[in-house]
Amino acid sequence: MMRTMLLKLSQNSSLREAFSKYRFAQRAARRFIAGERLSEAIAVVRELNREKILATIDHLGENTTSESAARAAAEEYIVALDAIAQSKIQSEVSLKLTQMGLDLAPTLCLENMRRILERAQRYQNFVCIDMESSAYTDRTLDLYEALRCEGFENVGVVIQSYLKRSERDIDRLIERGIKVRLCKGAYQEPPSIAFAHKRDVDANYLKLLEMLFSPRAQENGVYMAIATHDEKIIRWAIDYVQRHKISKDRFEFQMLYGIRRDLQLKLAQEGYRVRVYVSYGTHWYPYFMRRLAERPANLLFLVKNLVRGFSGQRFH
Ligand SMILES: Cc1cc2nc3c(=O)[nH]c(=O)nc-3n(C[C@H](O)[C@H](O)[C@H](O)COP(=O)(O)OP(=O)(O)OC[C@H]3O[C@@H](n4cnc5c(N)ncnc54)[C@H](O)[C@@H]3O)c2cc1C
């Protein structure tokens, strides 16, 4: 109920305008984002790298409404790739296709993606395409496949275990020897296409994980990012790879900045490859609301920041 409400609010543009201006909200969002500037994301990644944790940098933004904004978003990623190379940090980038103009024109989006991937190729870097709501699943996978057919090997895609179609999608993608990030899914989806209960989403996660670790997938060169903070799933995966003697360089764990830092460190210390998704930028509202929806207890954290604001600072 609370999850549904928060996810609905995440798409409300008037609330986004108002909420984003409040200091208490900005302070609360800082738990999950590195800052508004690229330099702040780079500083966070440098710290993570010091602890042997890799990163993927995300410039916050989605559902871009003009061609110029989509081109500017692509340019921001090109600047980020240059900065990653210059500062010698270990980080990939993650982006959303609606940020690159998918809602406006697929050709514009494709053009922006080519520019980013060509720049990433120059540095032997990698770009992961985030998965958005189910309205975009087909278009995202089609565009991803088109880029692969054009010869871009440095691009990966995300599959969500809450979608009932994901088993079919993974089966097809395994043929291509993909690099895939497996997550549970962060959007509001109808029960006709998505599992409604957490236990089914989790069970499907394990099923998909097994498919991606299968001999067929491994022979095709599939590389998997296990993107979850769910310790039960993580321990299950570790047990599975140990039993099946799957090498640690065939997969990695991924988590979000600001969530389960203890677990991130522990896994890195155990010798697993760990990558943290580090977001920055001013368009943090929908991303922040999805983090609240995942764990409504985070609302308390928001309220604490509100109270701190009332007792100490003026809003603006
Ligand atoms: C690297 C990465 C990339 C992602 N990319 C995408 C994407 O492209 N598309 C997409 O739809 N989703 C994406 N997600 C989000 C994902 O779908 C889930 O919504 C999110 O990871 C929460 O689910 P969980 O797997 O951690 O499991 P849950 O069962 O939700 O959580 C397990 C435990 O993790 C902790 N936890 C989880 N979320 C939070 C939170 N917000 N605040 C505090 N603690 C929390 C809690 O301790 C909780 O008990 C991504 C997640 C990660 C880690």
Q: List the CATH code of the domain at 33-283.
A: 3.20.20.220
* Residues with catalytic roles: 130, 181
Lowest mean pLDDT among 220-229, 244-253, 296-305: 296-305
Q: Which of 244, 259, 269, 286 is nearest to 62 (CA)?
A: 286
Whether 314 shows a pLDDT value over 50: the answer reads no
Band the pLDDT of 297: cuts 50, 70, 90.
confident
Average pLDDT over residues 268-272: 97
Distance 311 CA to ligand 1 centre (A): 32
CA dist 3 and 10 (Å) reads 10
Q: pLDDT over 70 for what percent of the chain? A: 97
Q: What is the pTM of this model?
A: 0.95
Binding site membership of 112 for ligand 1 (Cβ less than 6 Å)? no
Average pLDDT over residues 36-49: 97
CA dist 275 and 272 (Å) reads 10
pLDDT digits (tens, 9 = 90+) for 204-234: 999 999 999 999 999 999 999 999 999 999 9
**Residues in Cβ contact with 113 at an 8 Å cutoff, skipping those fewer than 6 apart:** 74, 97, 100, 127, 143, 147, 155
Instruction: Round the average pLDDT of the chain to a whole number and report it.
Output: 94
**Residues in Cβ contact with 145 at an 8 Å cutoff, skipping those fewer than 6 apart:** 176
Name the token pair of 303.
């309220």
Contact 67, 101 (CB under 8 A): yes
Band the pLDDT of 300: cuts 50, 70, 90.
confident
Band the pLDDT of 309: cuts 50, 70, 90.
low
Note the pLDDT of residue 251.
Answer: 98
End-to-end Cα spacing for the chain: 31
Distance 86 CA to ligand 1 centre (A): 31
| C-alpha atoms less than 13 angstroms from C-alpha of 289 in its C-beta half-sphere | 21
pLDDT digits (tens, 9 = 90+) for 78-113: 999 999 999 999 999 999 999 999 999 999 999 999
Whether 269 shows a pLDDT value over 60: the answer reads yes
Q: State which ligand 1 atom lies nearest to the alpha carbon of 254.
A: 1
CA dist 132 and 295 (Å) reads 19
Note the pLDDT of residue 316.
Answer: 36
